[in-house]
Structure 1
C-alpha cells in the first residue's frame, strides 16, 4: 500500500460538482485532491449524455455535456490540485489527531484533514430491460446511453422511458431522426414542462405502454411488441434503433459503512453541507435537505458552500470572508 502527503481537503467524485468544488477549494488556498472512481472525469455527464445539450446553466444558453466537462476540467486545474482517476474509495479511518485515512479498493491510502463527497449516486449502472434475449442486442441497436447522435440520423428511433433523460433525448433526436416514438408506462412524463410539451408536439407518444418483446436477427432489433398496461392490448412497431431510459442504479460501495446519516439513498446535510460526521461534507446529487434543487447549477452552489465549511472546520477561530474571483490575486494580476 502507498500513501502520499496530507491534504486539506479530498473531494471524492469527479463529476461537474466535484470539479467546480476543486476549483473553489483552490480559491480558498487549500491543498486539494480530487479522486474519481471512473477512468475519466465528468461523472454521469460523461458516461450517459456527452452529446446531450444542457440548457439550464446560467449564462450558457446551450452546451453539450462533453464541452461542459472540458470547461470544468480546465477550470478545476487552475490551482493545480492533485487529480486521480480509476480509484474507488471504500474505507475510512479517523486518526487521533482528527485527520482521516481514506482507502481505495486497490489498497491506496489518502491522508486528508477534511472530506467533501460529490459522488452522486455512486457507481452508475443503467437499469436494463428485463426481457428475455435483450442482452444480445446490446452490441447492436439497443442503447442504454447515447454516444454519437449521427448513428440515429434518418432512422425511426423508439425511446422507452418517461423521465428527463427520455424526454431530452427525444428532443435532441427530433431534428435528425426520421421519426421518434416515445413509450411510457404512465400517462404523464416527469421531465421539465417545456421539454415535455415540445416532445409531445413533435414526437409520437404512446402511453401507458411498456416493452413486451424484442424481435430481430443477430444483434439487430427489427421490431418490438408493446403492451397497453390497462387493456392488455399488444401491437408491433418496426424500428431502427431502441433507446432505453428506465433509470440508473447507484452503488456507494464502502461509503455506506461510514456511519453517515442517510435518507432515501442520499446523505443528509444541513445548509452548510455538513454531514453528521464532523469534517465530512457533501454536495450535489449525493445529498438531501429541504427544498433541494436537483440541477447542476444547484450543485455549483452547494460545492463552494461545502468548501467554505471545510475551510471553517480547519480554521474555526478565523472569520470566513466572502471570496470572489474578481478580487482574487491570481485573476486580478492576470
Structure 2
C-alpha cells in the first residue's frame, strides 16, 4: 500500500469551523494555523464534557450524553457570526445526527468533514456516523483499508517544532540520552520501563508519564500488573505545553514513542521529531512504510520481545530528510488536505 496525500481543488475563499478535542495543546496549534490561512475561523472543543469523569463516561456510555451533546453543539453553532463553507469535526464521538442535520439546514452549502486521530476501534459508535459527512479522513491505515469512504491522512507537526529546527539561536545541547513524554494507557507504562532498563546504567533520561487525573493512578494500581511496584510520584498529572515538550525534545538525543497496541497510525510525536531532526525509538513497525523512514533515525522495537537499543544508535548523528518530504507533514499541509484544498506548499 502506497500512502498518497490527495491534492484536489485550488485554494479558494474558505470560512472554517473546527470542533477539536482539547488535548496537549494541539487544539491551539490548529487554531493558529487556521487563523494564518483563513480570515473567518472558529474553533470549539468537540467534547460537551471536559472533566476526567465526564470523558470516561462518554467513552463507556456515550448515549447517556446525547441530550447534552445536542444542546452543546447547538449553542456553539448559534454563536457563529459568519456562514461557514466548511465544518471539520475531529473524532466525532460526541456529535449527534440531529446536530449535523441542524447545520445543513442552517448552512445548505456547507461541507461537513470528519477527521479521526484515533482509530474506529477506540471511537465507540463513530463507524455508524461516517455516512453523515461529506468527507472522512483518518490517521490509521487499518481503518482506510477496511472502509472505502475513509481517506488516509497522517497527523502533523505544529509550527513550533519547525521553528525549533530552523532556529540558529539554539545550541542544541543534549542533556538526555533518551526521553519520554506521553499519556499512560494500555501497556505503555511497562514498555517505557523496559526501554529505559535496556539502556546503559549511566544513560541520562527524561521521564514524563502523564495520567489525566489522580484517581486514575489508584484504579490502575489496583487493576494493572505493571503498576504494582509504582509510586504516585512516578507519574505527572499536568500536561506540558508545546514549548516545554519541544524544549525536552531539543535537548534529547533519542525520543521514545509508544503507539497504542490497537492502532497502526503514527502518533503526532513521530512528526514532531521529523520536524526537529530527532531520532526515535518506536514500537510501531508501520513507520517503515512511510517516505521519511530511515533506520539510522528510527529504531523499531517489538513491545513483547527483549528490547535491545544499540549504543551506536544512541550516539550517532541524525540523517536529514528531504525538505519536501518533511513539509508534507506540516500542520498547514494537513489542514489543506482535510479541507481538500490543493496544497502548493
TM-score exceeds 0.5: no
- Decide which structure has greater strand share: 1
Larger radius of gyration: 1
Tell me the TM-score range normalised by the shorter chain. Answer: 0.3 to 0.5
Question: Could you say which structure has the higher helix fraction?
Answer: 2
Give me the TM-score of the superposition, normalised by structure 1. 0.32
